[in-house]
Structure 1
Amino acid sequence: MCVRYLGFVLLVWFPGVLHAQIAAQPCRAPNLNGGNFVPERDSYSEGTTLTYSCDSGLKPAVEGWWASSKCQNSTWFPEPQCIDEKACTPLTIPNAGHTENSNGWFEEGHRIRITCDEGYELKNLDATAICINGTWSSVPVCEKSLYACGEPPKIPHAVIIGHRYQEVFAADSKVQYECEDGFTVEGADSKKSIFCMSGIWTEGPTCIRNCGNPPSVPYGVLRTEQWFLKYSCSTFYKLEGPETVFCYDDGTWL
């Protein structure tokens, strides 16, 4: 009985130990052609960071003349590389994207075509960048479209659903609001959409408290003011009691 229990414990315990050993595998010294790094060791423990530089005529495959790499799960990230000094490191353009090279850098003379993000357009219709002598020339610029909209308006007691946050929306974009519990849009609906039209958002919803039908007052005249009501009396009648009632969060008029 005890032997069986001990065997069960070992079966449960050993996989965890093996997993910990695999997760903590060290990194071998990187094979850095045309460069040198510190500290120099045969192997490096998980989380170790090394710094490297490249020989004359070469440069790291990242920005700057020296770079660092970290040991993560037995792999160096990013991979230490020394490339031709006339090659180009990846290009970053605000509000735009482009096809990336599998090796992480681009040879001299390489051309990339830029695609602007939604709501942005190319300035001067120039969509190409060229790697020349280690730098990118004629770098395109993506600017906000004249017909795009900024972030949608904030509506009291409502949130935007089904759409991630962003600062710029392309023309004809649609976002949908939903009122919080206890509130509805006019017409007893809890949702309403708005649209980006020529750089301007269409009118947003108004979320009003959902209190149902207001109290009935014989010979009374009712005026609605979003979340409260104001009564007055018909000719030859006078009001007894408060002239204003409020809609409370529990859905009652008081």
Structure 2
Amino acid sequence: MCVSYLGFVFLIWFPGVLHAQSAAEPCPAPVLNGGYLVPEQDTYPDKTAVTYACDKGLKPAVEGWWATSTCQNGRWSHEPQCIDENYCLPPTITNGKYTENRDDEGQTIDITCNEGYEVKDSLITATCINQAWSSLPVCERRNNACLEPPQIPDAVILGRYQEVFAANSRVRYGCKTGYATNAGNTKTVTCSSGQWKGVPTCHKFCVIDPDLFKGHNFELPAKEYILEGQKKSFPCIWEGYTAVFMCTDGRLSATRCCSRQESC
């Protein structure tokens, strides 16, 4: 049981640490084919807005006959672009992405849903007709996918945040410093049939360090870890006598050496 605590990943929190932030980067001038920018310059400081319009027969790739984009730490809020005035504007596919196809027959897109999602009614393609998309596919959560893992006290998920996880996804919980899972739970949980299996609990724990008890009348063979409320017994130097350690509110207490007939 003790070995499982030694291998557990603990997170150290430093409330007062300040994270260094680099200065915001400027943006290079966008490459705009078939249009013009106002103002027009080689670089733009962070948070600078640029307005653009397109030549005859073209239009911005966003709604309106003119558009605005803003420099955000080295990137434009959308890359200024001019497209054929008869084309459909790039769609927004919630929980998915698309690839665009243009040929003599027109403009189409193929939809790919994000992990944990699937297209509704098996519709994966849309066609641009009269500057409007025909029945854009919808990505909906799979029945066997899981929502975000449950929040448990004194722990975090060791990985990036996301709202939906595909079936059989695995994530790890990490207890904060001074806490650990108990022997009956696991730090790794699995998405199964839409539910998270094996969600752990983090408890306070104590360390029994032999170096701190040298010269006492009980024998500690190696460093031990016990959870809040747990007890651990060790033999004393006298045969038939035992010392009992207990973890209470994160602090370790030890009894005197007691015989089997006594209550330690």
TM-score (normalizing by structure 2): 0.58
Q: Is the 8 Å Cα contact of residues 229 and 247 (structure 2) preserved in structure 1?
A: yes
CA deviation vs aligned residue, 1:99-134 (integer Å, no higher than 9, x gap)? 368xxxx67822221111111111001011112222
One-letter identity of the residue aligned with 2:44: E
- Which whole-Å CA distance do the structure 2 matches of 1:185 and 1:76 have between them? 45
Which of 153, 160, 164 does residue 160 from structure 2 map onto? 164
Change (3 A) 1:165 1:99: same
Q: Is the 8 Å Cα contact of residues 53 and 67 (structure 1) preserved in structure 2?
A: yes
Change (3 A) 1:165 1:36: closer
Q: Does 1:203 align with 2:203?
A: no
Q: CA RMSD of the aligned region, Å?
A: 4.1
- Which whole-Å CA distance do the structure 2 matches of 1:24 and 1:208 have between them? 48
Q: Is the 8 Å Cα contact of residues 247 and 253 (structure 1) preserved in structure 2?
A: no
Q: Does 1:154 align with 2:151?
A: yes
Give the equivalent residue in structure 2 for 1:182.
178
Q: Does 1:110 align with 2:107?
A: yes
- Which whole-Å CA distance do the structure 2 matches of 1:142 and 1:128 have between them? 12
CA deviation vs aligned residue, 1:194-244 (integer Å, no higher than 9, x gap)? 11111111131122222257xxxxxxxxxxxx73379xxxxxxxxxxxxxx
Q: Is the 8 Å Cα contact of residues 123 and 141 (structure 1) preserved in structure 2?
A: yes
Change (3 A) 1:83 1:192: closer
One-letter identity of the residue aligned with 1:123: K
1:131-150 paired onto structure 2 within 5 Å: 131-150=128-147
One-letter identity of the residue aligned with 1:201: W
TM-score (normalizing by structure 1): 0.60
Going by fraction, where is helix more abundant, 1 or 2? Answer: 1
Q: Which structure 1 segments of 5+ residues have no match?
A: 1-22, 214-225, 231-244
Q: Is the 8 Å Cα contact of residues 100 and 108 (structure 2) preserved in structure 1?
A: no
Going by fraction, where is strand more abundant, 1 or 2? Answer: 2
Give the equivalent residue in structure 2 for 1:227.
228
Give the equivalent residue in structure 1 for 2:91.
91
Q: Please state how far the C-alpha of 1:62 moved relative to its aligned partner.
A: 2.3
- Which whole-Å CA distance do the structure 1 matches of 2:142 and 2:128 have between them? 27
Using CA pairs under 8 Å that are at least 6 residues apart, name the structure with larger relative contact order, 1 or 2.
2
Give the equivalent residue in structure 1 for 2:63.
63
- Which whole-Å CA distance do the structure 1 matches of 2:143 and 2:76 have between them? 45
Q: Please state how far the C-alpha of 1:168 moved relative to its aligned partner.
A: 0.8
Count of aligned pairs between the two proteins: 195
One-letter identity of the residue aligned with 2:117: Y
Give the equivalent residue in structure 2 for 1:220.
none
Change (3 A) 1:171 1:229: closer
Q: Is the 8 Å Cα contact of residues 96 and 114 (structure 1) preserved in structure 2?
A: yes
- Which whole-Å CA distance do the structure 1 matches of 2:60 and 2:115 have between them? 33
Identity of aligned residues (%): 49
CA deviation vs aligned residue, 1:47-90 (integer Å, no higher than 9, x gap)? 46443444665322222221135689xx9986655432211222
